[in-house]
Amino acid sequence: MSWIDIGHIDDVPVRGARLLKTQVGCIAVFRTAETEVFAASNSCPHKQGPLVEGIVHGQKVTCPLHNWVFDLNTGEAQGADEGRIETYPVRLDGDRILIDGDAVGQRSAA
């Protein structure tokens, strides 16, 4: 994996999200707790709702358009809804958020 620094943990509010533009499209970076982050496709497969504007709860996000709920660990829709969103490897290094550059089509400058 080729890790890319995408910002400080405080750039994303707790139970909030930030949009990251990449070569594979827009990715939502979610902060579910003080030191827990996830990255997933920003687009709900139902009606392409912007998940970055959704409600973050536990390790899930609810689409702002039609209330579909996605597990941020697996990308799977919860309940009776069928579908999934793409998830991407992300981790913290101290207070910096890193995403796998290979997964998002980018390489680090190193």
Q: What does the pLDDT read at residue 108?
A: 47
At residue 107, the pLDDT reads 53
The Cα-based distances of 48 to 1, 16, 35, 66, 95 in angstroms read 29, 19, 28, 10, 31
- What is the tens place of the pLDDT at every residue in 40-60? 999 999 889 999 999 999 999
Spans of the chain, pLDDT less than 50: 108-110
The CATH T-level fold of domain 3-100 is Rieske Iron-sulfur Protein (2.102.10)
